[in-house]
């Protein structure tokens, strides 16, 4: 049943971009878990909690993205192999330097933000307001989180130079 009223062919690019976003989010999520487990030093308590908040949010978004793909009558990518092969987010190795962790997260955000914009563009062409609304909200939230992390990293740079 075509309960959304879309021509299925009009959603191909949107679904492809949503699957890209899903793969990017999965690798980003694991990077956050890595950093949460391995952060050390004077900023441990702040960053440990911040990384947990970020990965908890990412976990929710991952489910929403996958469910949106299913709502559009397609299948989400769902294996670790597919995520690693597809993702534009680089898998982070073990890092213990807090500033490097935050800079890696900001790099991940840059990839996610770009992908979100691609999803919105494709969804706009298809007239898919539901996807635009969902991903637009994600984009706004991630931009704000990026600003906050960048402010923290800038403060750390200024302190190191002083």
Q: What's the whole-number average pLDDT of the chain?
A: 93
Taking the C-alpha atoms of residue 129 and residue 125, their distance in angstroms, rounded to an integer, is: 10
Share of the chain above pLDDT 70, in %: 94
Q: Nearest 5°: CA angle at 39, between 38 and 41?
A: 135
Walk me through the domains of the chain, giving residue ranges and CATH numbers. 11-161 (1.20.1260.10)
Q: Nearest 5°: CA angle at 129, between 127 and 132?
A: 110
Is 134 in contact with 64 (CB distance < 8 Å)?
A: yes
Which tokens is 155 given?
Answer: 């403060």
The mean per-residue pLDDT over the stretch 1-15 comes to: 84
Residue range 85-111, pLDDT digits in tens: 999 999 999 888 999 999 999 999 999
Residue range 24-76, pLDDT digits in tens: 999 999 999 999 999 999 999 999 999 999 999 999 999 999 999 999 999 99
**pLDDT for res 96:** 84
Q: Nearest 5°: CA angle at 143, between 32 and 89?
A: 40
| pTM confidence score | 0.93
Which residues are CB-neighbours of 106 under 8 A, at least 6 positions away?
146, 149, 150, 153
Taking the C-alpha atoms of residue 30 and residue 22, their distance in angstroms, rounded to an integer, is: 13
**pLDDT for res 87:** 98
The mean per-residue pLDDT over the stretch 4-12 comes to: 85
């Amino acid at each position: 049943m075509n309960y959304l009223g879309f021509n299925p062919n009009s959603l191909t690019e949107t679904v492809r971009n949503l699957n890209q976003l899903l793969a990017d989010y999965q690798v980003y999520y694991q990077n956050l878990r890595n950093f949460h487990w391995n952060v050390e030093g004077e900023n441990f308590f702040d960053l440990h909690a911040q990384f947990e908040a970020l990965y908890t949010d990412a976990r929710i978004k991952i489910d929403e993205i996958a469910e949106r793909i299913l709502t559009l009558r397609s299948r989400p990518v769902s294996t670790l192999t597919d995520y690693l092969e597809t993702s534009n987010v680089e898998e982070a190795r073990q890092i213990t330097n807090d500033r490097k962790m935050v800079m890696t997260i900001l790099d991940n955000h840059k990839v996610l933000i770009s992908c979100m914009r691609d999803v919105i563009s494709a969804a706009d062409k298809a007239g898919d307001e539901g996807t635009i609304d969902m991903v637009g909200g994600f984009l706004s939230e991630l931009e704000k989180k990026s600003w906050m992390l960048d402010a923290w990293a800038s403060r750390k740079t200024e302190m190191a130079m002083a």
